[in-house]
Amino acid sequence: MEQKSWLRVAILISLLAISCGREPKFAHKDNLPVYNHTIAMTLVEYASAVYLKDLTGLVTWTCSRCGDLTEGFEMIELIVDVEHCLQGFVGVAKDLNAIVIAFRGSASIMNWIEDLYWKQLDLKYPGMPDAMVHHGFYSSYHETTVRPGVLHAVKRAKELYGDINIIVTGHSMGGAMAAFCALDLVVNQKIQNVQVMTFGQPRIGNTAFASYYSQLVPNTIRVTNYHDMVPHLPPYYPHLKEKTYRHFPREVWLHGNGSRTLSHPVEKVCDGSGEDPNCSRSVVGNSILDHFTYYGVKIISGTPGSCKIVMDPRVAEYSTQDIAGNFVLYRDPSASVAEMKTASSCTPSNFI
């Protein structure tokens, strides 16, 4: 493996060893990322658009959610894992001067949230001693067609645009995938300038994992919305040491400052612990509606529990497909904007 990342891991291990007290200590850098409202408003639109089923509109960036702050986005690849009902894209946002990678959350959101209470820390994160994560979240990025699709697209984007920043985003389970993707880019692809912003992301690993993560991908913002229940799950039990899930920093909590109306939310930039008691943890996570809308942008709508996709056959010509039916659409500037012509569907998988 790459010498440099091993060196970093070794330094982390010694940091963790020094701090092995009664409670699992959480190590993080002091130079936590600066929260930028404008960038958040832009990224939430990408995290929202990636949910859409109209693949033609996405590839040509003419979909109902494509425009506004994301206008001019240059799609490079749209990855559709039909087998596991996953979707993501990679493209270039010229105004941010960055490659943007976005992941969709679960299509069967209600079942998925119910299951979140019971997710086990059941996978050792490779190469990071004591780091445990949830296997389902991990595998949705690492053991599907999503990872090879993303890595291929990032390579293409870098060939076309040079060594610009990479911003990874996603909502809900898409946020979990974004975190695993960013870690993969930093550790395995040796890419330095990786930023992450997730919305309504669940916890994905234990304290050791959160420590490694925040050292390796320090430029991470995890936006949570008022009473959104998903960031509260799987639960955090401070006394269970390494057997509990724990968030990595930095949380930014949107709240109504005592009012239920979130038209002008207060944006609280939280501390570096990942589990700031004065942020989302200061309220009960009992709202599903707060999960569906971030910054006034509706993220989840449409038919729940369906992986239906809609695609124009002329766009489908620019795709590669594997034997399981998973495919990648490559942006071709000559592909015209067209009406939806074909529809196909699959059932949501229980894999995640």
Residues that bind ligand NAG (CB under 6 A): 36, 38-39, 96, 257-258, 266, 271, 278
| Closest alpha carbon to 229 in 68, 57, 142, 110 | 110
Half-sphere exposure of residue 313, counting CA atoms within 13 Å on the CB side?
2
For 46, 100, 180, the CA distances from 42, given in Å and listed in that order, are 7, 11, 21
In the bound state with ligand NAG, the residue whose beta carbon lies nearer, of 95 and 143, is: 95
Q: How far is the CB of 154 from ligand NAG (least distance, A)?
A: 21
In the bound state with ligand NAG, the residue whose beta carbon lies nearer, of 139 and 273, is: 273
Q: How far is the CB of 42 from ligand NAG (least distance, A)?
A: 8
Q: How far is the CB of 94 from ligand NAG (least distance, A)?
A: 11
In the bound state with ligand NAG, the residue whose beta carbon lies nearer, of 119 and 246, is: 246
In the bound state with ligand NAG, the residue whose beta carbon lies nearer, of 273 and 349, is: 273
What's at 162, amino acid-wise?
A: G
In the bound state with ligand NAG, the residue whose beta carbon lies nearer, of 278 and 345, is: 278
Tokens in use for 118?
A: 């019971």
Please state, in angstroms and rounded to a whole number, the distance separating the CA atoms of residues 161 and 158: 5
Q: How far is the CB of 267 from ligand NAG (least distance, A)?
A: 9
In the bound state with ligand NAG, the residue whose beta carbon lies nearer, of 135 and 227, is: 227
Q: What is the dihedral of CA 175, 180, 185, 186, to 10 degrees?
A: 110
Q: How far is the CB of 35 from ligand NAG (least distance, A)?
A: 9
Please state, in angstroms and rounded to a whole number, the distance separating the CA atoms of residues 283 and 133: 25
Q: How far is the CB of 268 from ligand NAG (least distance, A)?
A: 8
Residues ≥6 apart with Cβ < 8 Å to 175:
47, 103, 105, 169, 198, 199, 200, 201, 202, 222
Tokens in use for 57?
A: 């509109």
